[in-house]
């Protein structure tokens, strides 16, 4: 809040002559002298409003209001030489100088007052003793002894402080006793809030380290429904000891699972109540799915307008809350009011740009514990690393200016030419940053890891998806009522299923005038991390050529070298594509439709991203076999992008179809419209299963008990299933995800036929189509022979030949024979 001007508050603007440059250090000054002088200059160039809120004339507490930033800071003037002075601004705590422009503004203001010079020259020693944090001395907790009972105080201090008045580490656990004894000796003894916070934090850290040393990996037993690899256990325990840390493992090593395990462990060991996860919008429901799968607890995703979000912050009691970076940046004050115990930042490259507003606001979030997740902590320059570390520990690397001056080399123009003393950074961060790459933990990893990454879709995609979904639902209902669909309806069903799947990737696949999508953005977020890993190559699959066209355009715009295979590439040119990809170290991406699903050897890549998932598991396995095959020397990671809430997610969540079922529908290039009734029935049952909902909105499961147990069984880390749980066969395209498909009314009883005019007309049409096809089949030279072979069967024992006509139900034959018998009786009487 601004400080109102009063008799005790004065606005001071002191014209200070500029004597040093802001950009170039004078040759006769040290770095610290130059930076201190700059702050004196800045103090005289701003019209600060300064108010003495203490009781002393000189060494007192002051509020300093900056009208340019509208911020107010508290300054404690405790010494003439800035050795004990304090300001709660970020610059003071990080610059290591013992001063800032706010302290210098107070000093300049006091310097204009009468009689102050005499006080400066012989400052009175305060009566009170105090504990304070010496930010210019490595953030050590120090004692300042006042004049009250000075000798007794000095004698007492020897048991808790060294000769430089720094608090012994052992004294942290006797701190309550220390304070009580100090107050008996010095009644006005003070312990400043930042000193108390530092003691509490250090005590907590030592307790956690002791706990980890005593129990080790046994601490992790029963925390999550998964078996952690040894390196993952190490990551969780590292984060536990640190309290606030950065986990910078390579992509595919399970940072999410480690973060979830850590949050649950901290909840149970420290009695925490509120965990906040900040992630990109596209990953909110991915986090929700992972947490619920690994822990079984309910998770709240923060959405809605500002009032709705505030209500969640204030009233929701669930431990895990998930919020996007955009919302967290806007709501940081309300989130701080919620007082989260833990904050997890996922995809933390969102805050690498320390100048960006979103980065600034995210770093205003406060919590005792935090875990920052990123696969690329240092990608372009060391300023990005500095920004990441600021969230974890804003004081650890000091001021940005000091950090860059120690580690950045520049030419005369200020252009960065190189870096120095980088090992020093690693040593400084060793207690808060943990990074493992795949080479380090190769022996612990399985040969292959599969992960389904659930992403949201846009409102435009959802509208088209739901429109097609409604048509499919009506056709399913019609099939249930009538027991069949005519050719036109079958074609409509298949077209609309395919369009549902297409639009889940992008509206561009259906309409080249628009490009509403989220998967492309998510793809390049993943590629950004993967391409930062030296030597790694990636294969990207989509069943839609138009989707690969979008990806190719973006790759070209970003100057990323790639090869592109699709059905339009002549066979004679294909070998050169994968030869270039496998041999050229600059070619990092192989982009392909399912034209490249077989026959290509792409073992130089260890990562595959499926933009969409085939209905036939065999087709998916053919894709994966391009990199997961003999000759592959690395462990491979498969990432499947699944759009939330749509047909694809329903397939993954509801159905566990076996390969035999998938192989029985729409495979072998068979014309799906004219497929046999038995195969079409399997298709319709599959479609019905993913479009039907049980009463109350629950999913209706169409799987046997064994398969249902597989669905609900204990998941492995990072979704390490060996095959995808898909449903029927290869319609050449794939699903994605948005809102669950609404099904037909379950109260509606299936009937074999109907007497409605519509159904009679459809029956007549079907009969006409039957005779048309029957005549067409017999018109070919071998037509009669083929038909005879289809409807006859030879007894292998007697050699006799029988007529074989498949029927839907035995009752159908019984009813037909009864009808014939009745007719014969009528004829006999006549």
Which tens digit of pLDDT belongs to each residue from 686-714? 777 766 654 333 333 333 333 233 222 33
Euclidean distance between the first and final Cα of the chain, in Å? 108
Mean pLDDT, residues 332-356 taken together: 88
Task: Provide the percentage of residues in the chain whose pLDDT is more than 90.
Answer: 28
CATH code, 232-444: 3.40.50.10810
pLDDT for residue 240: 95
* 524-546 residue pLDDT tens: 989 988 988 888 999 999 988 99
pLDDT for residue 772: 53
* 358-416 residue pLDDT tens: 888 998 899 999 999 988 777 667 778 888 888 998 888 877 777 777 777 777 666 77
pLDDT classification of 756: cutoffs 50, 70, 90: very low
pLDDT of 76 > 60? The answer is yes
pLDDT of 235 > 90? The answer is yes
Lowest pLDDT segment from 167-171, 360-364, 580-584, 821-825: 821-825
pLDDT of 80 > 60? The answer is yes
pLDDT for residue 92: 85
Mean pLDDT, residues 261-276 taken together: 94
Fold of 455-719: Rossmann fold (3.40.50)
Count CA atoms closer than 13 A to 725's CA, side-chain side. Answer: 20
pLDDT for residue 370: 95
* 405-422 residue pLDDT tens: 777 777 766 677 777 777
Region(s) of the chain under CATH 3.40.50.10810? 232-444
pLDDT for residue 261: 96
pLDDT for residue 562: 93
Cβ atoms of 504 and 647 within 8 Å: the answer is yes
Lowest pLDDT segment from 36-50, 205-219, 414-428, 636-650: 414-428
* 111-157 residue pLDDT tens: 877 767 777 767 777 788 889 888 877 788 999 888 888 899 999 99
pLDDT for residue 13: 46
pLDDT of 723 > 70? The answer is no
Q: Which of 62-71, 186-195, 338-347 has the highest mean pLDDT?
A: 338-347
Cβ atoms of 604 and 631 within 8 Å: the answer is no
676 or 687: which leads in pLDDT: 687
771 C-beta neighbours (distance < 10 Å), count: 9
Backbone angles phi and psi of 412, in degrees to 5: -65, -25
Instruction: Measure the CA–CA gap between 137 and 751, rounded to whole angstroms.
Output: 85
Mean pLDDT, residues 341-355 taken together: 85
Pick from 204, 198, 175: which is nearest to 272 by CA?
A: 204
- The two tokens of residue 779 are 């018109």
pLDDT classification of 659: cutoffs 50, 70, 90: very low
What does pLDDT average to over the chain? 77
Residue for token pair 């049409």: 765
Region(s) of the chain under CATH 3.40.50.300? 455-719
pLDDT for residue 799: 52
Q: Is the dihedral of CA 464, 467, 469, 475 positive or negative?
A: negative
828 or 465: which leads in pLDDT: 465
pLDDT for residue 134: 86
pLDDT for residue 828: 52
Backbone angles phi and psi of 542, in degrees to 5: -145, 140
Show the 3-state SS of 378-406. Answer: CCCCHHHHHHHHHHHCCCCCCCHHHHHHH
pLDDT of 238 > 90? The answer is yes
Mean pLDDT, residues 489-508 taken together: 89
pLDDT for residue 480: 85
Instruction: Measure the CA–CA gap between 795 and 814, rounded to whole angstroms.
Output: 24
pLDDT for residue 408: 72
pLDDT of 802 > 80? The answer is no
pLDDT classification of 824: cutoffs 50, 70, 90: low
pLDDT of 595 > 60? The answer is yes
Instruction: Measure the CA–CA gap between 763 and 760, rounded to whole angstroms.
Output: 5
What is the 8-class DSSP label of residue 283?
G
Mean pLDDT, residues 164-184 taken together: 90
Lowest pLDDT segment from 134-138, 253-257, 728-732, 775-779: 728-732
Tell me the C-alpha to C-alpha distance, in Å, between residue 301 and each of 265, 281, 321, 547, 648: 21, 10, 6, 30, 21
pLDDT of 234 > 90? The answer is yes
pLDDT for residue 667: 34
pLDDT classification of 757: cutoffs 50, 70, 90: very low
pLDDT for residue 808: 46
pLDDT classification of 664: cutoffs 50, 70, 90: very low
pLDDT for residue 278: 95
């Amino acid at each position: 809040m601004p400080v109102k001007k009063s008799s005790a508050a004065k606005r001071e603007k002191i014209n200070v002559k500029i004597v040093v440059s802001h950009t170039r250090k004078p040759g006769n000054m040290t770095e610290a002298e130059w930076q201190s002088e700059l702050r004196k200059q800045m103090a005289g160039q701003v019209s600060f409003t300064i108010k003495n809120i203490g009781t002393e004339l000189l060494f007192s507490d002051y509020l300093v209001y900056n009208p340019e930033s509208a911020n107010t800071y508290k300054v404690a003037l405790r010494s003439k030489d800035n050795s004990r002075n304090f300001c709660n601004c970020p610059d003071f705590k990080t610059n290591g100088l013992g001063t800032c422009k706010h302290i210098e503004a107070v000093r300049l203001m006091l310097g204009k007052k009468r009689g102050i010079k005499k006080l400066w020259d012989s400052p009175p020693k305060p009566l009170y003793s105090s504990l304070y944090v010496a930010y210019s001395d490595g953030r050590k907790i120090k004692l300042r002894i006042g004049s009250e009972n000075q000798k007794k105080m000095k004698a007492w201090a020897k048991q808790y402080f060294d000769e430089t008045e720094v608090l012994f580490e052992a004294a942290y656990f006797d701190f309550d006793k220390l304070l009580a004894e100090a107050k008996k000796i010095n009644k006005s003894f003070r312990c400043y809030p930042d000193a108390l916070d530092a003691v509490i934090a250090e005590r907590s850290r030592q307790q956690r380290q002791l706990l980890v040393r005593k129990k080790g990996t046994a601490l992790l037993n029963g925390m999550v429904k998964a078996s952690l690899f040894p390196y993952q256990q190490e990551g969780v325990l590292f984060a536990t000891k640190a309290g606030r840390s950065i986990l910078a493992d390579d992509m595919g090593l399970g940072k999410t699972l480690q973060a979830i395990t850590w949050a649950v462990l901290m909840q149970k060991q420290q009695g925490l109540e509120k965990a906040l996860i900040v992630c990109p919008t596209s990953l909110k429901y991915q986090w929700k799915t992972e947490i619920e799968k690994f822990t079984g607890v309910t998770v709240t995703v923060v959405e809605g307008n500002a009032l709705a979000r505030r209500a969640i912050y204030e009233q929701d009691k669930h431990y895990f809350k998930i919020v996007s970076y955009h919302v967290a940046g806007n709501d940081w004050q309300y989130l701080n009011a919620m007082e989260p115990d833990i904050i997890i930042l996922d995809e933390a490259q969102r805050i690498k740009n320390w100048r960006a507003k979103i980065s600034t606001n995210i770093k205003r979030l406060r919590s005792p514990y935090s875990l920052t997740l990123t696969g690329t902590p240092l990608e372009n320059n060391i300023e990005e690393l500095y920004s990441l570390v600021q969230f974890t520990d804003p004081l650890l690397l000091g001021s940005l200016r000091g950090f860059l001056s120690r580690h950045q080399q520049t030419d005369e123009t200020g252009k960065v030419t190189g870096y120095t003393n980088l090992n020093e950074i690693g040593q400084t961060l060793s207690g808060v940053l943990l990074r493992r790459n795949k080479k380090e933990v190769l022996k612990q990893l399985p040969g292959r890891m599969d992960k389904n990454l659930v992403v949201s879709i846009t409102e435009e995609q959802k509208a088209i998806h739901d429109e097609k979904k409604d048509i499919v639902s009506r056709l399913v209902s019609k099939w249930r009522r009538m027991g069949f669909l005519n050719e036109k309806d079958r074609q409509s069903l298949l077209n609309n299923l395919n369009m549902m799947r297409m639009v889940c990737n992008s509206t561009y696949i259906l309409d080249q005038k628009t490009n509403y999508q989220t998967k492309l953005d998510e793809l390049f977020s993943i590629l950004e991390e993967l391409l930062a890993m030296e030597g790694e190559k990636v294969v990207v699959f989509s069943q839609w050529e138009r989707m690969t066209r979008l990806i190719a355009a973006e790759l070209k715009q970003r100057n990323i070298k790639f090869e592109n295979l699709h059905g339009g590439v002549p066979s004679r040119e294909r070998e050169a594509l994968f030869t270039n990809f496998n041999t050229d170290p600059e070619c990092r991406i192989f982009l392909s439709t399912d034209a490249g699903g077989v026959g290509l050897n792409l073992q130089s890549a260890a990562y595959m991203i499926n933009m969409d998932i085939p209905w036939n598991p065999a087709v998916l396995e053919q894709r994966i076999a391009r990199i997961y095959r003999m000759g592959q020397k690395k462990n491979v990671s498969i990432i499947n992008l699944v759009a939330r809430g749509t047909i694809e997610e329903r397939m993954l969540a509801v159905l566990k179809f076996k390969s035999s079922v998938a192989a029985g529908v729409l495979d072998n290039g068979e014309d799906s419209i004219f497929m046999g009734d038995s195969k079409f029935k399997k298709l319709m049952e599959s479609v019905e299963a993913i479009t039907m909902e049980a009463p109350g909105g629950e999913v209706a499961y169409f799987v046997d008990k064994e398969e249902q147990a597989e669905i609900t069984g204990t998941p492995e880390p990072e979704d390490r299933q060996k095959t995808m749980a898909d449903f029927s066969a290869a319609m050449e395209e794939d699903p994605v995800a948005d809102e669950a498909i609404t099904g037909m009314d379950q109260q509606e009883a299936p009937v074999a036929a109907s007497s409605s005019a519509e159904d009679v007309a459809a029956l007549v049409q079907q009969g006409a189509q039957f005779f048309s096809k029957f005549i067409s089949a017999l018109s070919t030279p071998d037509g009669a022979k083929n038909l005879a072979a289809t409807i006859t069967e030879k007894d292998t024992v007697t050699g006799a030949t029988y007529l074989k006509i498949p029927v839907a139900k035995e009752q159908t034959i019984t009813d037909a024979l009864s009808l014939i018998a009745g007719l014969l009786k009528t004829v006999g009487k006549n």
